Amino acid sequence: MSRISQCFENLKADGQTALIPYVTAGDPEPWVTVPLLHALVDAGADIIELGIPFSDPMCDGPVIQKACERALKNDVSIKHVMKMVKQFRDKNKETPIVLMGYANPIEAIGYQNFAEQAKDAGVDGVLTVDVPPEESDEFRQIMDDHGIDTIYLVAPTTSPERMETIASYARGFIYYVSIKGVTGAAALQVDEVAEKLSQLREKTNLPLGVGFGIRDGKSAAAVAGVADAVVVGSTLVRCIEEHADRMDELPAAVAGLLAEMRHAINARDLASA
Amino acid sequence: MLEQHIQDYFKTFPDERGHFGPYGGRFVGETLMGAIYELEQAYQQYRNDPDFLAEMDKDLSTFVGRPSPLYLAENWTKKLGGAQIYLKREDLNHTGAHKVNNTIGQALLAKRMGKNRIIAETGAGQHGVATATVAARMGMECVVYMGAEDVQRQAQNVYRMKLLGARVVPVESGSRTLKDALNEALRDWVTNVDDTFYIIGTVAGPHPYPAMVRDFQTIIGREAKQQMMEITGKLPDALVACIGGGSNAIGLFHPFIEDRTVAMYGVEGAGHGIETGEHSAPLCAGKPGVLHGNRTYLMQDENGEIIETHSISAGLDYPGVGPEHAWLKDIGRANYVSVTDDEALAAFHDLTRTEGIIPALESSHALAYVNKLAPTMSAEQTIVVNLSGRGDKDMHTVAAMAGLKF
């Protein structure tokens, strides 16, 4: 069983919802990332999504675009991202890491090379936001061969037939994009999300994560009521941006935000237990 | 190999997933996949629909002014002393460039799909103007995304779009040029996917755009072929067109792909020179990758980050190129070359003085290559060069190069 599946099994046994923070690797400086990842785990992260910076992040809003620009100022590439994961693994063998990014940087080094580096570094999953199932046969095969889970997106616009296809391709968990829009855009509607998730549950037994539009403890807890995992990105990245000139305070500040969400989710999980 | 590829061409390309060989495809976020399939279905439904085609033909004739003339540039031919040079006068179209051929087609499709909000990206502003024009005529809301850098260098086109009722949004992210405008337009589309039709201006983007935009632009090549047969009684020996995304080039080339004797030259912007790295020539100096919905040749660094491009002409200042060109390059059916800013500027002045036609800086790249090609050919041979747009929009840039300001 993959580290991601194991993580969800454990949480399920405890009646807990997973909390998945997203940060862009190397934002605002490469050395901040590993301490930040440890701080996030201490604050209650169950899985971490680590963004591979890309020059043209067309599915992201301005907050994550700027994070990519800050990381790229330091030329942070996949090679560096792998080093960060490796360094994180020196102290942490349990928390699954999912790399999230766009196709081109991965294509540039080649799928096989990427898979080998990822496996070696201790990466557990990968989500390429601009590669739909239709274009991912070779990629998925190679990741499968290396025991790396390919995470796929389902959106409000995804038809039931597509849900079925995506479910058959997905490994680890499925990431439901809660709103029509880019990351960090509007607030989500929990009842709409709940309806889509119940459709999706008819097609798959994989855990379902929900991201886009989760901003605070309240929205995190609301989503925890319907999902197996809560993904939070832009809110944390905005906090990173605000602390870009006070980097010594940055990990604690970002972790503090995440801890609020953890508490809110735990309170909800307990209440419904 | 080439022979087989050409025989297969019209049967196979693109395939049902939008692939031209290894290029093309649909590389977008899941939220847009539904919209892309919806568009593909609508396009398949209407592309051979007699009512749709009749409406488009009528618009192209009475609103755009087609067919555009094929003009023998006698003075310039004489000056270069080689092949006879024919100009396909897309600059005479309403709005001043070939872009309108495509925006008419897509806007008619949008209307049939019940989408009342139009968005577009633009570089030089020609596609933005062509989109704002059809939106004004059809009473549709129109938002045009334009890199902040381009908003500055194409101020006149920005004002034209505003006069036509479009909202022009300057894009401040990334390199603040065409690629960033495309990113922003895609972000808008994903947010307003229910009521919005995205009119992409070139033969890039996810399937079905490269095939659909090509089909709307092949009017250029179909007319040119017929006109050459009428005027000279034979096919041309060479076709020349500039390439940013590649829509005017594919529009000219495509109807000639099976005519093996017709050489094709796509001319990219070499900017300050390929060797300086400051250019916009992905086919000549880039490598394959994935950007803006398709796999194609890209200007990128060794980490797969897209690098900033440079061209004197905003319409060529783009790090990618349509996937069909990538395939035509690989199979060797078309030749891709480049000319520098300086060469393009010299050709701009040449044509203006010898023929009394002021070309767009984009089209001047094609002309600059003709400057090199024509003298190597004989007087019995012919070249058709796509004069894809007129130069009025570039007065500011050209004057600035001469140290003038107005």
Of A53, A55, A156, the CB nearest to B174: A55
Q: Give the gap in angstroms from C-alpha B64 to the nearest C-alpha of chain A.
A: 33
Helix axes A78-91, A111-121, angle to 10 degrees: 20
The residues facing B382 across adjacent strands are: B84
Q: Which of A214, A182, A188 is nearest to A58 (CA)?
A: A182
Residues 6+ apart with CB under 8 A from A21: A40, A45, A48, A49, A231, A232, A233, A236, A258
Q: How far is CA B390 from CA B123, B177, B374, B405, in A?
A: 15, 21, 22, 20
Q: What is the pLDDT of residues A15-42, one digit of tens each?
A: 999 999 999 999 999 999 999 999 999 9
What is the structure's pLDDT at B406? 67
What is the structure's pLDDT at B271? 97
Cβ burial, residue B76 (10 Å; 0-12/13-18/19+): buried
Tell me the C-alpha distance between A136 and A154, whole Å: 15
Q: Inform me whether the pLDDT recorded for B11 exceeds 80.
A: no
What is the structure's pLDDT at B6? 80
Residue pair A125/A4 in contact (Cβ under 8 Å)? The answer is yes
Query: By three-state DSSP, how is residue B17 classified?
Result: coil
User: Is the backbone of residue B292 left (phi > 0), alpha (psi -120 to 50) or beta?
Assistant: left
What is the structure's pLDDT at A181? 84
CA atoms lying within 13 Å on the CB side of residue B138: 27
**One-letter amino acid identity for B383?**
I
Q: pLDDT band at A56, cuts 50/70/90? A: very high
Residue pair B220/B251 in contact (Cβ under 8 Å)? The answer is yes
Q: What is the 3-state secondary structure (H, E, C) of chain A?
A: CCHHHHHHHHHHHCCCCEEEEEEECCCCCHHHHHHHHHHHHHCCCCCEEEECCCCCCCCCCHHHHHHHHHHHHCCCCHHHHHHHHHHHHHHCCCCCEEEEECHHHHHHHCHHHHHHHHHHHCCCEEEECCCCHHHCHHHHHHHHHCCCEECEEECCCCCHHHHHHHHHHCCCCEEEECCCCCCCCCCCCHHHHHHHHHHHHCCCCCCEEEECCCCCHHHHHHHHCCCCEEEECHHHHHHHHHCCCCCCCHHHHHHHHHHHHHHHHHHHHHHHC
Residues 6+ apart with CB under 8 A from A161: none
Residue pair A211/A232 in contact (Cβ under 8 Å)? The answer is yes
What is the structure's pLDDT at B396? 86
Q: Give the gap in angstroms from C-alpha A119 to the nearest C-alpha of chain B.
A: 19
Of B191, B193, B303, the CB nearest to A77: B303
CB pairs under 8 A between A and B: 131
Interface of B with A in 151-180 (CB under 8 A): 173-174, 179-180
Of A65, A108, A131, the CB nearest to B300: A108
Q: What is the pLDDT of residues B42-94, one digit of tens each?
A: 999 999 999 999 999 999 999 999 999 999 999 999 999 999 999 999 999 99
Of B193, B302, B307, the CB nearest to A157: B193
Q: What is the DSSP letter of B99?
A: H
Residue pair A19/A230 in contact (Cβ under 8 Å)? The answer is yes
Q: What is the pLDDT of residues B269-290, one digit of tens each?
A: 999 999 999 999 999 999 999 9
Closest chain A CA to residue B290: A104
Of A57, A107, A155, the CB nearest to B290: A107
Q: Inform me whether the pLDDT recorded for B8 exceeds 80.
A: no
- Identify all chain B residues contacting A78, using CB atoms and an 8 Å cutoff: 303-304
- Identify all chain A residues contacting B180, using CB atoms and an 8 Å cutoff: 56
Question: Per the CB < 8 Å rule, is A181 touching B173?
Answer: no
Is-catalytic flag, A49? Answer: yes
| Interface with chain A: mutation pick from B38, B179, B186, B290, highest number of A CBs within 10 Å | B290
Question: Per the CB < 8 Å rule, is B187 touching A182?
Answer: yes
Q: What is the 3-state secondary structure (H, E, C) of A144-166?
A: HHCCCEECEEECCCCCHHHHHHH
> How many degrees, rounded to 5, is the angle at CA B83 between CA B79 and CA B84?
80
A174-177, strands of its sheet edge to edge: A149-150, A125-128, A97-101, A48-51, A18-24, A229-232, A208-211, A174-177, A152-154
Question: Per the CB < 8 Å rule, is B183 touching A109?
Answer: no
Q: Give the gap in angstroms from C-alpha A117 to the nearest C-alpha of chain B.
A: 14
Tell me the residue ranges of DSSP E strands in B47-112: 70-72, 84-89
Question: Per the CB < 8 Å rule, is B174 touching A102?
Answer: no
Residue pair B216/B106 in contact (Cβ under 8 Å)? The answer is yes
Do the strands A18-24 and A48-51 form a parallel or antiparallel pair, or are they unpaired? parallel
CA atoms lying within 13 Å on the CB side of residue B278: 9
Q: Is B25 on the interface with A (CB under 8 A)?
A: yes
What is the structure's pLDDT at B221? 98
CA atoms lying within 13 Å on the CB side of residue A84: 29
- ipTM score assigned to the predicted complex: 0.95
Residues 6+ apart with CB under 8 A from B18: B24, B25, B26, B206, B207, B208, B210, B211, B294
Q: Inform me whether the pLDDT recorded for B169 exceeds 80.
A: yes
C-alpha distance across the termini of chain B, in Å:
54
What mean pLDDT value characterizes chain B?
95
Q: Which of A12, A72, A51 is nearest to A237 (CA)?
A: A51
Six-digit token string for B150: 């381009």
Residues 6+ apart with CB under 8 A from A14: none
> Which residue among the candidates A14, A27, A42, A49 is catalytic per the annotation?
A49
Tell me the C-alpha distance between B81 and B317, whole Å: 32
The answer to whether the bond into B50 is cis (omega within 30° of 0) is no
Query: By three-state DSSP, how is residue B305 classified?
Result: coil
Closest chain B CA to residue A57: B183
Six-digit token string for A52: 């591979």
What is the structure's pLDDT at A256? 97
Closest chain B CA to residue A131: B27
- If one counts every other C-beta atom within 10 angstroms of the C-beta of residue B4, the result is 9
Q: Give the gap in angstroms from C-alpha A127 to the nearest C-alpha of chain B.
A: 11
Average pLDDT over residues B5-24: 86
- Identify all chain B residues contacting A108, using CB atoms and an 8 Å cutoff: 289, 300, 302-304
* H or E stretch covering B5: helix B2-12
Q: Note the pTM of the prediction, 2 decimals.
A: 0.96
Q: What is the pLDDT of residues A223-245, one digit of tens each?
A: 999 999 999 999 999 999 999 99
Average pLDDT over residues A179-202: 88
- Identify all chain B residues contacting A154, using CB atoms and an 8 Å cutoff: 30
Q: What is the 3-state secondary structure (H, E, C) of B108-139?
A: HHHHHCCCCEEEEEECCCHHHHHHHHHHHHHC
Cβ burial, residue A168 (10 Å; 0-12/13-18/19+): exposed
φ/ψ of residue A147, rounded to 5: 70, 30
Q: What is the pLDDT of residues A120-179, one digit of tens each?
A: 999 999 999 999 999 999 999 999 999 999 999 999 999 999 999 999 999 999 999 998
